[in-house]
Amino acid sequence: MDVIIYHNPSCGTSRNALKLIRHVGVEPHVIEYLKSPPSRAMVAWLVQRTGAPLRDLMREKGTPFAELGLESPGLTDDKLLDAMEAHPILLNRPLVVSPLGVRLCRPSEVVLDLLPAGDLKPFIKEDGEVVIDAAGRRVTR
């Protein structure tokens, strides 16, 4: 299975999603999007594939979102894409692409919806939260 993760190694959610992908036996293409930002056209395509509004894929915390006045509801997607192109940190993460779809994987266990549904082994996130229990069942909260 071909999987791409737009990853920030400084982000715990992104690290957990990457570990979950590898945990099910898939080695993804890892794109550290702050070092190799996706093009404006790629961001637009990713957003379209998620089926979510562009704003749902924008990160506010730890970004210049407020300083750039991006909270204004009157801003067009073109203006928001301009900002994301100039400031890749505005792209929320982790964003995962697989043959099963494209999703912003927050929380990280959302990534399991994009992966093969075979036998799952137990998995615990960095913070100790159980995602897959000893019986191989996804734990929902």
Catalytic residue among 3, 5, 11, 132: 11
Provide the residue type at 23 as one letter: H
Name the 3-class secondary structure at 104: strand
Helices (H) and strands (E) in the chain, counts: 3, 6
Catalytic residue flag (residue 11): yes
Q: Catalytic site residues? A: 11
